[in-house]
Amino acid sequence: MKNTKLIKNINVHLYKTMQNKGVSFQIDDCSHNQRPTLVITPSTDKTNSYLDGMQIIFEDEIYEVSQYQAGKEENELHIYLETKSFKVALTNMLKGNKKRKPIKIWN
């Protein structure tokens, strides 16, 4: 399934929000069986960035902010927020991965 319009809207919002902040994003379309699924991951040039492992997953009309390779052994997925608003998800993700308490943990 093509998510061209959704991806374009997300790109426009990312550009407006992150312009001149040294953060770039990759958007992967992982849709399957007519079920739109996008994974949005930030990156910076810095090592040990506060954004390491952070991502936004869009599926079933919900944006989920999470961190992969989390936990002491880096084998957990920490979920920080689930929302229907991309703007809220982006703002939450930009808080980074330091000193946050997840609402769910998957391992």
DSSP 70-83: ETTTT-EEEEEEEE
Give the pLDDT score at 1.
44
Give the pLDDT score at 43.
87
pLDDT digits (tens, 9 = 90+) for 4-20: 888 888 988 888 887 77
* Domain span at 72: 4-106
pLDDT digits (tens, 9 = 90+) for 70-106: 888 889 999 999 999 999 999 999 888 888 899 999 9
Asked if residue 61 lies in contact with residue 107, where contact means CB atoms within 8 angstroms, the answer is: no
Using the predicted structure, report yes or no on whether residue 41 has a pLDDT greater than 90: yes
Domain count, the chain: 1
Give the pLDDT score at 2.
60
